[in-house]
Structure 1
């Protein structure tokens, strides 16, 4: 089933469009009353938020705006009336958020300070922004003031250019937001081609990937670098699915994917699946090595050029180790570690299980990524061995590769030591264009809807105030999913 049961009624579509617009306006108002403004520190408790100037209005606008935006997006999860309608509505929702101050996070101030550090001759991969002497350090969350940058050299270059051209903090923030908007627009341009290649209606793929509240609140208003990384990733994959096996196209796609990695390292898990999409003709080991070699050449060239151009080398890899300094139950491995610690204190000293569970989760992630790649490889080999209509084969090949990439990103986001809502936009975009079955979209749409409600306008994460109940609930969900997965596997094997 790839289409909704019936057409979307005009009244329902209009109601969703303007309810979402009202929600975006309310969130913008909440941002100006109590968003992540540089001179306003993040709250330490919900009571502090309530007692702050305009506190009740901020919480009220945030609650109502989030409910309207999430509800409107969810109501058309089966697909918008048309692709044009989906694009116009998503753009309409983004307009008020373009005028909002940074929402849901203070990371954009970290970007600005890292760019400032680099332009002033300090390696942001060696020292934090406080030690570098950034004049805007007070706007950066305390936990990130003394940690090296975990972002790739291409994004540090972009942040540095934003600082140089912006002439100050406000100008830098505006330019960083414009860079994020450019990333979202690039992603929007790539969605129709990717969806068409797989046989997914553009009106559904565009709605799920662009109208999601995570995109407006975090990628646009929050100006997260995930926007430009995701745009480059989708552009590279689009080149691959349109011209597989063509050396020049593979080099171009490799450069685009390499730039995505040079923005944020999470893009690296897509590369093995991109290698599968790069193969032209039958899937043999020789063809894989040949075409993946061209792709790898482009990736390495992009990483080498950006590293040399910025003079930063590969120091950013070391900065990734600090991304797990924050411990919140929104990361399933961290939540399980919390629960183990709670249980351990009943019988003796706290076992400090969080680091151990995180290591186990990373090992499990490696196994899952390998299994997903092997599944995609064997599926594509079978497609090549079976004589099918060319049209069917042309659709199934990119579908398998993109589905594998989307699932790999989902596994990476879920098993990472830390989870922030905007991380979900990576798997969301790929699964939106690769999932043919309408019913299956609920499995990744529902978590994104929940993630949209996790942070307040000033960047305060609600997980900070719900550590124990949140960890217990997340652990129960992990156990339930694990049991369901084992039972499903046993049932499938019995057949």
Structure 2
């Protein structure tokens, strides 16, 4: 057996052992319904079974991260990557929720809607959810921040599951369905973007955050990613086809009405749907079809659900949690610490968050404009005979998906970095698209690997207990990156 095959086989089973240890940690001390809330790492260690829980979690995470990292340049084959990612997910399919308690919020929001109460007007506490004690206190009085499609899916899970356990199982099935849809779309997107499918599938599906947070944690990000990748694939495969663009827009609209983050990808999907040649007229024509599908999906789901657009207002509560893992929040903390030293209370966190959102808006425009200009330049590249004509269609069709997917990936990176709050599973948003376009992988696989260590099995976020040192470290990292970027720009 070749050495590479031996190494890959070793990585497969090391990761499987890691996933099994994480499942054991979930059974011993995961985010169980009756688990105590507001605990600290020290209290977890002192609890019965605490040392075993934390040991299994730490060793399992190290093994899973190490196995994924060792094959970051690509698994032996696409089929091998699928099989291995599936093997690693199996133990986490049958463990209690891990990494956060958000799935209980989903269950209560679904219960609220199923019992005729608007989840966008009251929190789950005001609605009288019978499972209120399982929800993290910070989210009990907060209206749902998710779109009507996910509220409908959560209500469906409540109807199918009956009790709390059945509802959690149904929500996990929905999350896995989203991952399966993403897995179905990855090969087509990878071929279109010109990257090896074995690498794209491995990076996007076998990562340490996928099993813990999207499978065991049943986060709705899995559904959003599945719909988003499917919409992008349809737009790339059938540019200029009105029916296909309507479908692509509808899929992206459904993604937005699961989680609003998907909206930053829509402008790049419009570029994907434009038929060659790239002109303003073609952009308006083809982009109009896609936009029509998106608006139609949003309107239909908002109206038929009876919820209207109350979900837009719920988005303002997503930043209620303050953690140093969000760069603008970390810088705000440091400014507040500096102010305290001189007897001031600058309250810089809200200001820095607002500035970061303005910067994000501007950066998204710049990224879209650069992608548009790149496609226009390709469109107008002189041909061999010296005349100014359209680039050869074959070459253009190779470059177009790569430009579009790269722009969408960077838009999601900017969204994660500049958002007012960051949770480990947020890293899965750009990961799926970076796996399809990035040449160098270390700059995004390292942060992804580190994010896997931020949450304990019961949902305790370690960022809560490292506020000051974490904020200082994040600010120092940002300054270092800024200095290096300026030096690179000069040279």
TM-score w.r.t. the length of structure 1 is: 0.96
Shift of 1:481: 1.1
- Summarize the Cα distance change of 1:8–1:275 in structure 2 as closer, same or farther, 3 Å threshold: farther
1:461 is the counterpart of 2:469: no
Partner of 2:417: 414
Q: Distance in 1 between matches of 2:232 and 2:25?
A: 37
| CA deviations over 1:323-351 (Å, ceiling 9, x no partner) | 11100000000000011111111111221
Partner of 1:61: 56
8 Å contact from structure 1 (residues 241, 278) kept in 2: yes
1:324 is the counterpart of 2:319: yes
Shift of 1:308: 1.2
SS of corresponding position for 2:107:
helix
Partner of 2:168: 173
8 Å contact from structure 1 (residues 235, 256) kept in 2: yes
Partner of 1:252: 247
Q: Distance in 1 between matches of 2:40 and 2:212?
A: 22
1:161 to 156, 164, 170: 156
1:402 to 396, 400, 405: 405
Partner of 1:14: 9
1:285 to 280, 300, 308: 280
Partner of 1:486: 486
Partner of 1:434: 437
Partner of 2:96: 101
| CA deviations over 1:124-179 (Å, ceiling 9, x no partner) | 00110001000001000000000000000000000001001111111110000000
- Unaligned stretches of 5+ in structure 2? 384-390
- Unaligned stretches of 5+ in structure 1? 1-6
Shift of 1:397: 0.3
Shift of 1:443: 1.2
| CA deviations over 1:31-75 (Å, ceiling 9, x no partner) | 010000011023431111111120000000000000000000001
1:273 is the counterpart of 2:284: no
TM-score w.r.t. the length of structure 2 is: 0.97
1:342 is the counterpart of 2:345: no
Partner of 2:81: 86
Shift of 1:251: 0.3
Shift of 1:488: 2.0
- Summarize the Cα distance change of 1:442–1:165 in structure 2 as closer, same or farther, 3 Å threshold: same
Partner of 2:393: 390
Partner of 2:427: 424
Q: Distance in 1 between matches of 2:68 and 2:3?
A: 13
Q: Distance in 2 between matches of 1:136 and 1:261?
A: 27
Q: Which runs of 4+ in 1 moved over 4 A?
A: none
| CA deviations over 1:436-461 (Å, ceiling 9, x no partner) | x2xx2111111111111110000000
Q: Which one is further off, 249-258 or 474-483? A: 474-483
1:236 is the counterpart of 2:226: no
SS of corresponding position for 2:350:
helix
Partner of 1:3: none
Q: Distance in 2 between matches of 1:263 and 1:167?
A: 22
Partner of 1:120: 115
1:28 is the counterpart of 2:5: no
SS of corresponding position for 1:90:
helix
Q: Distance in 1 between matches of 2:401 and 2:9?
A: 34
Q: Distance in 2 between matches of 1:26 and 1:206?
A: 24
| CA deviations over 1:54-105 (Å, ceiling 9, x no partner) | 0000000000000000000001111111111111000000000001110101
| CA deviations over 1:3-25 (Å, ceiling 9, x no partner) | xxxx9711110111001000000
Partner of 2:386: none
Q: Distance in 1 between matches of 2:3 and 2:403?
A: 29
Shift of 1:281: 1.1
Partner of 2:144: 149
1:471 is the counterpart of 2:474: no
Q: Distance in 2 between matches of 1:393 and 1:334?
A: 42
Partner of 1:449: 449
1:202 is the counterpart of 2:197: yes
8 Å contact from structure 1 (residues 261, 268) kept in 2: yes
Q: Which one is further off, 250-259 or 385-394? A: 385-394
Partner of 2:387: none
SS of corresponding position for 1:434:
coil
Aligned residues: 482
Q: Distance in 1 between matches of 2:140 and 2:46?
A: 27
2:126 to 123, 131, 142: 131
Partner of 1:72: 67
